[in-house]
Amino acid sequence: MTGATTEESFVFIVEDDDELRLSLDSLFRSIGLKTGMFANAREFMEAKKPDVTGCLVVDVRLPGLSGLDFHDHLMKAGSAIPVIFMTGHGDIPMSVRAMKAGAVDFLPKPFRDQDMLDAVASALEIDRKRRRGELELLALRSRYAELSLRERQVMALVTTGLMNKQVAGKLSLSEVTVKIHRGSGMRKMGAKTLADLIKMAELLELHLDPEDV
């Protein structure tokens, strides 16, 4: 695993084999990661879990709900936590299904400790980036909420590629007024350039058709 981080990260282990579950727990804790251990999918789903960067290490063959079906359940529930599968009975169809479903890795038992640590490092980085992106989007939406109606209209139109003069015509405003709203909106959004504003509009999914105004 690459460089340590001060950010709290969890690895959730879902494995019915007591010996392997404890071995993985010891491995992850040895590099400073926190862990949660579960003997089956239901235990994991019923447990209260911290809202932190994390990933799942799941055995494909579990009592009750299988690892693959468990992953399907998580996906349908809207969970985005990265998953690493492990199995002693792996085959190509299982691997294909797991990877198509978005699994980070699929490790056949027995696996090397370093292979598992590398997979976990990748999964945690994926989750870290996802969580960071979600926070940035929340902040962006908060700034957008501070815009006046006119500033929102101007932002939506200029980010479709219309010139100030064209926006003025659409909104029945003077070009000077459009420039004022555009400048004010860009300052509130924290956009230094039009390219920045366009990227923000894409993230906010502002799909305004100029003909709608």
Higher local confidence (pLDDT), 93 or 106: 106
Q: Considering the entire predicted model, what is its pTM?
A: 0.74
Task: Tell me if 141 is assigned to some domain.
Answer: no
Residues 161, 131 share a domain: no
Q: What long-range pairs does 29-34 form, CB within 8 A, spacing at least 24?
A: 31/1, 31/4, 31/117, 32/4, 33/9, 33/120, 34/8, 34/9, 34/10
Q: Which domain holds residue 202?
A: 146-212
Per DSSP, the three-state class of 95 is helix
Alpha-carbon span 166 to 72, nearest angstrom: 48
pLDDT in tens, 34-77: 999 999 999 999 999 888 999 999 999 899 998 989 999 998 88
What does the pLDDT read at residue 90?
64
Number of domains in the chain: 2
Residues 188, 94 share a domain: no
Residues 119, 31 share a domain: yes
Residues 39, 118 share a domain: yes
Q: Looking at the predicted structure, is the pLDDT value of residue 210 above 80? A: no
Higher local confidence (pLDDT), 96 or 29: 29
What does the pLDDT read at residue 7?
67
pLDDT in tens, 149-186: 999 999 999 999 999 999 999 999 999 999 999 999 99
Q: What is the DSSP letter of 212?
A: G
What does the pLDDT read at residue 26?
97
> Of the candidates 103, 136, 169, which is a domain's last residue?
136
Percent of the chain with pLDDT over 70: 92
Confidence class of residue 194 from pLDDT cuts 50, 70 and 90? Answer: very high
Task: Tell me if 4 is assigned to some domain.
Answer: no
Q: Looking at the predicted structure, is the pLDDT value of residue 193 above 70? A: yes
Residues 113, 14 share a domain: yes
Does residue 9 contact residue 31 with C-beta atoms inside 8 Å? no
CATH label of the domain that carries residue 194: 1.10.10.10
